[in-house]
Amino acid sequence: MTRLDAIRGRTPGQDHNARSIAALAANPACDRRAVLDAAAIDKPLLMKRLRFDDRWGQSPFAIQRNQQFTDLVKANGAAHLLRLLRGLLGLPIEEAGYVNLEDVGGAEGHAARHGHTRRIIRQTAEGRGRATILDRPLLRLDVAGARVYLEPDVIAFQLGGMFHIVAIKSFAILDDQADTPKVSAAAREAAVYVHALRDLVGADLVSHDVILICPKDFTNEPTATTVDVRHQLVTLARQLSRLTRIDAILDRLPEGFSLDLDRLSPGEIEAAVAAVPARYAPQCLSACELSHLCRKEAHLNEQVDALGRVVRDDLGGIESVTAALRVATPGEPVAADQAEIAERLRHVARIYDEAVA
């Protein structure tokens, strides 16, 4: 049993997926997040045990819409998809071979499915086999020494050329534009698949242009567009290469550190989480399941981080609300390295009071 497994204990782990790997890059300075992710701790369960409300559910309407759209795109041997790919990649019609990699002939489990995916993809890459559209492949990626299985929507294969990752998303492309945060998230996620597929067949066989399939305007009609994920790939590669630093973080944790959610009491869980330093910023609220816990903690400690990154940077090195107000008060002694900010804060305090008066 590895150290990370020991931390998780008997509680079942939470699998990584492309989204969670992409999220690793969202706040890589946060030790807490790094440890919990590396040990595959079930974060929603943890929050539930600490009596935080679940905010990460998806609306049944959104789930349903997403499913309907994906089914539509893949219906009839992925007829829609083929039509769009032909236009976008110039696939010749007769070469359209659709293979569903989920059918492994009874074999269960990730390893078997991944093996099957690997065989078919290698065959295709070597020019054997007739697969053009590979649906539901299972890719594998090593994340900080752990094997993570990933399931992209589809991989399209263009003859004589490159593999393309296809992402099917149900947000609309309205007059050729879509919601920027959603497109950005889709690009980060697709980059994880590109990275994993490149691991398998080599970088030069997988395109950095991923294909995004979305509903067009207010309709259900799928439309396709390419998104260049080169920047996301560079970022991802660097973040993955740095994840090994998890050992350094673990070394700083107390002996016998455990986050076995099934075994520990809420109080013990809270204490254990508190032992791993977090780096909270309000942006976490939309990205991390633990954010409400970290926010509460940041406020209890009066950290200025909780007021936003701009405030934190403006106050240049002052970490707490009380310290900032003390430094802003004329006559209070200040350290030499805070003389500059003290002078400026006293000035703004004075002109604020004058203007309000």
Name which of residues 204 to 233 contact another protein (CB under 8 A): 212, 215, 217-221, 225, 227-228, 230-232
Q: Which residue has the tokens 């633990």?
A: 290
DSSP sequence for 66-120? HHHHHHHHHHHHHHHHHHHHHHHH---GGG--EEETT--TT--SHHHHHHHHHHH
The residue from 3, 48, 140, 312 that contacts another protein (CB under 8 A) is 312
Residues 6+ apart with CB under 8 A from 353: none
How many helices (H) and strands (E) the chain has is answered by 14, 8
Please check whether residue 191 is in contact with residue 59, taking contact to mean a CB–CB distance below 8 angstroms.
no
Contact between 246 and another protein per CB under 8 A: no
Q: Which is nearer to another protein, 268 or 302 (CB)?
A: 302
**Would you count residue 256 as binding another protein (CB under 8 A)?**
no
Residues found in the chain = 357
Of residues 15-54, those binding another protein (CB under 8 A):
25-29, 53-54
Establish if 286 lies at the interface with another protein (CB under 8 A): yes
Residue 307, SS3 per DSSP: helix
Question: Which of 91-99, 109-117, 168-176, 199-207 is the region at the interface with another protein (rule: CB under 8 A)?
Answer: 168-176
144 binds another protein (CB under 8 A): no
Member of 16, 33, 188, 195 binding another protein (CB under 8 A): 188
Q: Which of residues 320-349 bind another protein (CB under 8 A)?
A: 321-322, 324-325, 328, 337, 339-341, 344-345, 347-349
310 binds another protein (CB under 8 A): yes
Q: Residue 106: left (phi > 0), alpha (psi -120 to 50), or beta?
A: left
- State which residue, 1 or 355, has the beta carbon closest to another protein: 355
Binding residues for another protein restricted to 80-119, rule: CB under 8 A: none
